[in-house]
A = this chain, B = another copy of it.
């Protein structure tokens, strides 16, 4: 990842801050002080400010006038809304992507899913989560509508930013999840109609959300 820097400073600042949020270096609630970030990066505040506003537009940070920016919060309600939105968008993306998924994609996804199964044996939640993202990427990445694809990516980023504090691995749900993945693959392989695939994909995510919620109640 140490390739020669490219793009404008505002772009670099955007990527740098976003990476820190998604990786969890800046946790929700973290105060983003323009001058400090600018100094860290060796830039002036102007491009940093622009980067922060972009992240605000994507929902990763919250900006308050004359006060400043903080990494967006972990409010359970917010989490629910984000998941619901993502389930809808991702469901549609997967359905639109399905007819364009080839045998090679299926094989790749299946391999990933099998590795997820291994992660269950060895209890490796971190890798499991990463693989889960990889798996779904294969399913929706061929979606021909760039807007929908973009929204899916934003949703995943947003979830990633919440991960470290909100995410709790639920083994029972994870096991079901792997089975549902296999079902999804079979639906796509057999050329099921778009509506069936969309419902299955949406339902899959809704079930994950339910698992988190019922766990959170305890």
A interface with B by C-beta (< 8 Å): 7-8, 46, 49-50, 53-54, 57-59, 65, 81-82, 84-85, 88-89, 92, 145-148, 151
> By the criterion CB–CB under 8 Å, are B50 and A85 in contact?
no
> With the chains together, A156 CA to B7 CA distance in Å?
31
> By the criterion CB–CB under 8 Å, are B81 and A147 in contact?
yes
Identical subunits present: 2
> By the criterion CB–CB under 8 Å, are A57 and B54 in contact?
yes
Interface of A is mostly: helix
Q: In the complex, which residues of chain B have a beta carbon less than 8 angstroms from the beta carbon of A54?
A: 53, 57
> By the criterion CB–CB under 8 Å, are B49 and A84 in contact?
no
Question: What distance in Å separates the Cβ of A79 from its nearest Cβ neighbour in chain B?
Answer: 11
Residue of A54, A59, A92 most packed against chain B (CB within 10 A): A92
Q: In the complex, which residues of chain B have a beta carbon less than 8 angstroms from the beta carbon of A53?
A: 50, 53-54
Pairs of residues from A and B, 10 with the lowest C-beta to C-beta distance, nearest first: A57-B57, A85-B147, A88-B92, A81-B145, A81-B147, A85-B148, A84-B145, A50-B53, A54-B57, A8-B65
Q: In the complex, which residues of chain B have a beta carbon less than 8 angstroms from the beta carbon of A7?
A: 65
Q: In the complex, which residues of chain B have a beta carbon less than 8 angstroms from the beta carbon of A8?
A: 65
